Amino acid sequence: MFPAGYRIGHSTDSVRRTGCTVILPPAGTVGAVDVRGGAPGTRETGIFTPGNLVSEIHAVVFSGGSALGLAATTGVSLWLRDRGVGYAIGAARVPIVAGAVLFDLAVGDAGAFPDEAMGRAACDAARGPDPESGAVGAGSGAMVGKILGIERASRGGVGLAAQELPGGGRVAALAAVNAFGDVVDPATGRVLAGPGAGGGGFATERALREDRLSESPLAAAHTTLVCVASSVPFDAGALRRVAIEAHDGIARAVRPAHTVVDGDVVFALAPAGEAPDVLTRLRVGAAAAHATARAIVAAVSSPGGAR
């Protein structure tokens, strides 16, 4: 699923309904990020600004637990440091670990969040580029469409998808889906997850425009997190455009997306290199958006998801 050299692992607490997912890229991977949601919870997103000192990335972590779940990234950092992985500063090694969180505190145990131990456990579980999907890892407590309350929402989860490029190359996406909006099939517009899933007839986007609604007690409890990986080399500046274009995939599969109550974030990873030619950049961007939309659909279609 993901390009060669990637390892992905989950740590799941199925009883307390929380967890984290780690993406460990091969050495020499650079990263970029684009944050579009109005309520993000992130770590190390500023480091990837083009022209800054460091562009290499050693891990991306998606976690439940809202802001408390950023503790899992520390566990990943320590796991990498113990193995000599990190940016060299004299004798020290400082792992560059980016992370983003979603809100699952209303689903299972409101006091549960992924901690350092769960971050380490996710690294220990990382085996290959085609991991389990559904209600695992960061998707353990993810829900979609909470506008009418948690009892009407659908299960979210983690999903993956990939797109092969003409002439060789691959772009893959991993999505942790805990969206405010409905997840829809981009081809048909059919609601796959949300209050109207299963033929209920309710559509969040339409309801916001037309219905009399009460304030949701879970208004700030949403996020779609995506990590896109390209096998085509990029420099950090050009790679950020891939992260930007991947957000189109969120907008195709989540309606509405990028709201003030979502923490939507896309990370993009690629081997370090020169920016590819314009046609290749266009291909990778289009593939990133397509894979992102398919990964979101897969997140709610996998075991434990909405259908």
For helices 278-301 and 236-253, what crossing angle results, to 10°?
40
The single-letter code of the amino acid at 95 is P
How many domains are contained in the chain? 1
DSSP3 helix / strand / coil % (the chain, rounded to 5): 30, 30, 45
**For residues 95 and 275, what is the distance between their CA atoms, to the nearest angstrom?**
25
**For residues 159 and 155, what is the distance between their CA atoms, to the nearest angstrom?**
12
**Residues 287-298: tens digit of each pLDDT:** 999 999 999 999
Classify residue 59: in a domain, yes or no.
Answer: yes
Classify residue 285: in a domain, yes or no.
Answer: yes
Classify residue 1: in a domain, yes or no.
Answer: no
Classify residue 142: in a domain, yes or no.
Answer: yes
Q: Is the pLDDT reported for residue 306 higher than 60?
A: no
**For residues 202 and 258, what is the distance between their CA atoms, to the nearest angstrom?**
20
DSSP lists the bridge partners of residue 229 as 172, 269
DSSP annotation string for 49-95:
STTSS--B--EEEEESSGGGGGHHHHHHHHHHHHTT-SEEETTEEE-
**Residues 203-215: tens digit of each pLDDT:** 888 988 998 888 7
Nearest to 69 by CA among 43, 45, 93, 92: 43
The reported pLDDT for the residue numbered 220 is 63
Q: Is the pLDDT reported for residue 4 higher than 80?
A: yes
- The whole domain housing 85 covers 7-301
Query: How does the average pLDDT of the chain come out, rounded?
Result: 93
**Residues 65-124: tens digit of each pLDDT:** 999 999 999 999 999 999 999 999 998 999 999 999 999 998 989 999 999 999 999 999
**For residues 284 and 276, what is the distance between their CA atoms, to the nearest angstrom?**
10
Band of residue 307 on the pLDDT scale cut at 50, 70, 90: very low
Classify residue 306: in a domain, yes or no.
Answer: no
pLDDT higher at 45 or 171:
171
Region 48-52 average pLDDT:
81
Classify residue 81: in a domain, yes or no.
Answer: yes
- Both tokens assigned to 300: 């709610």
Region 279-288 average pLDDT:
97
The reported pLDDT for the residue numbered 139 is 97
The reported pLDDT for the residue numbered 52 is 82
Classify residue 307: in a domain, yes or no.
Answer: no
CATH number at residue 272: 3.60.70.12
Classify residue 2: in a domain, yes or no.
Answer: no
pLDDT higher at 7 or 55:
7
- Above pLDDT 70, what percent of the chain? 96
